[in-house]
Structure 1
Amino acid sequence: MVAILSTSESFERKPVALMERITADGSSPWPVEAGRYRLVAARACPWANRSVIVRRLLGLEQAISLGIAGPLHDERSWRFHNDPDNRDPVLGIEWLREAYEKAQPGYDDGVTVPTMVEVATGKAVTNNFQQLTLDFSTQWREFHRPGAPDLYPEALRAEIDEAIEGVYHDVNNGVYKCGFASSQGAYERAYDTLFARLDALSERLAGQRFLVGDTITEADVRLWVTLVRFDPVYHGHFKCNRQKLSEMPVLWAYARDLFQTPGFGDTIDFAQIKQHYYGVHLGINPSGIVPTGPDVSNWLSAHGREELGGRPFGDGTPPGRVDEAEAVPQIGP
């Protein structure tokens, strides 16, 4: 995702432009088909991160290839500046905008990650980040790995939807509302709402291991991608500084539990996360200096959440080892 600044005092996220879906039931022009699409994500972006996590948990690596844009971009869009020749090795493009322009000549709207791109034509199909991971769970079932968890179980969908709605407005988007507020009042309202929601989540998670039910669901994925960025970025850069995540005992233990679960921490590149936020948001950080800290080795410390019970993958199994081509730098010894 690229944050679009609002013209008002309060930050408002611009709607995505490509609302198409890729479906298995023929309800859209884009059918589910292994090898047809490439997921373009970025390690820095929380919205993209959740699509990478769900793809990995469900074992969709062989069905949907992964392109990773680098952490830096400008008004032209995300760029593949970490790839050889600054080009995605499959799509052959330097800027993600090129895929949007192939889909819509003269395209002049937002270019965001995650984006699904049709490999054969190079056309961007959808950047509907709110729906994409739900469709990975429901539309791509034919290509799930054996033992894939059910991240969006039908019996819990109403509760999951309610949880992710509040998390989206107050936490996922809430940190941006703090960081990009252009008045003291707008900032303080966003700050109060963010920490009120985090306090409520702490209370909820004090007695249960996961947000909904006794297994990992879509709700956990969506909350976690913001928590993992909290201390490196949001606490200082976005002025979300009542407390660090590491000073909120329940949420800190919850976040470490998931970080140490295959499919979560093994998608995180803390260096790229910091490079993006501090290097791109020059209106907030004019110097472009990227902080050296914080120390992230504490993400591997014991969390004790097993005592609450729960089965992370339900009746399924953890995903296997990360493909070498998709591996991220490891922390700790």
Structure 2
Amino acid sequence: MYKLNKTISCLLLSTFLIFANFASAQSLLISGFVEARFKQQFSAPDSDSWQLQIKWLEQEGKQVKAGDTVAVFDAAALESEVEAEEAKLRKTEAEAKKTEQKLRLERLEAEFLMKIARLDLEKADLEASIPANHLTKIVFEKNQLEKKKMQLALQEKEQALAQKEVELANQIATAKIQYKSALAELNRKQVMLKGLNQKAKRSGAVVYVRHPWTGQTIKAGDTVQKGFVVLEIPDTSQLYIKAWLNEVDIARVKTGPVELYVDALNKAGIKGQLKQISLQGESRPVWGEAYYHALEIELDDSNFDSSQLLPGMSVMVKLRAHEQQLGGEI
């Protein structure tokens, strides 16, 4: 028992000495992680619902090929909506055909009545053309009156036919619009349904990401907002270190050489160059209410084999801190 306690004490002392040596005076220690400059990201797709549940994610670290499925979101609700839209499209098409057929029959009936009125007018015109001296005055006047009645009747039937033709044309145009609208909505739902099953576009290792609000690793079964990144396949050929600096220290840091400690490799003294400091601070809710500036650090491959690094590895960054005059030295 004494030997075990002594061994643990030695390990703790060694760890303390590593960090004590790593953190010296006039320096800042900040946390960061290995980041890929180029990567394929998989996010919760567009949906009518503002939240989506992750049904399945490929195992972290697994090598996948282009075309492999890596993320699947719950599709039960959307599948029901697609079925409903398909039924709606069929109903819209059926009702449009039924109404069109009804109007076509009414148009044929109006056309038939117009032809009857035209024949009646021809008959009345023949009778009205008999000279007055061959008929009695009453019969002659009756024939003239009948001709005028038939002319009015024909005009009425022609107007009725024209109205039915307009109704038929409007119904056909309306049916096309309704069908296109229903089809567009069905296509939109189908595209969203397809987006719930996401495939890799390039080969690489699967890397899980952290929730931007809680800092916890996103995994299968979690419910996330649409647009949230849930998985990445990074290009490991171009890696860099991304770190975050509290806004109170931003004036004390300049671009230049830095030292790195990679937790997973238990390796300190890795050289790097701080290349860029973001001018705009960002909120990091997991760390509190302060604002943090993103730092971009390039690795010096001359003293370290960067092939040992993987995206997502945590890194401790040692920055040289410059003095700042704010009514006194800091």
Quickly name the TM-score band, shorter chain normalised: under 0.3
- Name whichever structure is richer in helix by fraction: 2
What TM-score, normalized to structure 2? 0.19
RCO (CA 8 Å, sep 6+): is it higher in 1 or 2? 2
What TM-score, normalized to structure 1? 0.19
- Name whichever structure is richer in strand by fraction: 2
